[in-house]
């Protein structure tokens, strides 16, 4: 199950209306949109690859990016295709949605190998995994970089929205 995060820049038409008094507002707004798209494509996946947890490396390598452009907005989606991405970002067990310890369903004990202890462990329950906010960190850095890419004249008209999809 993929985890998708969308970032949207809205308000290019408002910027165009406000900048009609200048000599060439279309060129300025189109250039801003082009450079914002380029910045998003260049740095979006790189930021996830830098900040993703490195247990197996699957989160960092299984990332895709889609960018859509409309006259008023620029929308981009970062998609984590790893099956465990949702559990890494949201947490499991007592740290997750239901805040309940994890119990085995088929056996009496859970058995796993602990690499830090160098031995096999048998337990009746585990607390779970704490959420790792690397995706929120990536989106705040990406939002800041996208805003600094835009010229100051246009920046006040553009609104950046971040939404986590399914």
- 141 — phi, psi (to 5°)? -65, -45
DSSP 103-144: --SSSSSEEEEETTTTEEEEES-B------THHHHHHHHHHH
Enter the pTM of the model: 0.82
Compute the 3-state secondary structure of the chain and give helix, strand, coil in percent, each to the nearest 5: 40, 25, 35
Angle 134-149/25-51 helices, nearest 10 degrees? 160
Q: Which domains does the chain have, with CATH numbers?
A: 3-90+131-164 (3.30.70), 92-129 (no CATH)
Task: Print pLDDT tens along the chain (166 aa).
Answer: 789 999 999 998 888 888 877 777 788 888 899 999 999 998 988 999 999 998 888 988 999 999 999 888 999 999 999 999 999 999 999 999 999 999 999 999 999 998 889 999 999 999 999 999 999 899 999 999 999 988 888 888 899 999 987 5
- SS3 of 70, please? coil
């Amino acid at each position: 199950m993929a985890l998708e995060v969308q970032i949207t820049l809205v308000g290019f038409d408002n910027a165009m209306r406000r900048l009609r008094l200048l000599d060439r507002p279309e060129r300025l707004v189109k250039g801003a949109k082009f450079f914002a798209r380029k910045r998003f494509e260049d740095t979006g996946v790189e930021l996830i690859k830098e900040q993703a947890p490195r247990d197996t490396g699957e989160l960092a390598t299984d990332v895709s990016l889609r960018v859509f452009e409309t006259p008023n907005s620029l929308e981009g989606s970062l998609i984590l295709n790893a099956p465990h991405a949702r559990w890494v970002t949201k947490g499991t067990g007592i740290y997750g949605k239901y805040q309940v310890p994890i119990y085995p369903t088929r056996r009496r004990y859970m058995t796993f190998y602990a690499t830090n202890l160098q031995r096999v462990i048998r337990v009746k329950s585990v607390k779970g995994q704490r959420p790792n906010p690397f995706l929120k960190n990536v989106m705040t850095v990406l939002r800041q970089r996208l805003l600094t890419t835009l010229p100051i004249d246009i920046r006040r008209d553009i609104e950046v929205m971040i939404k986590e999809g399914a």
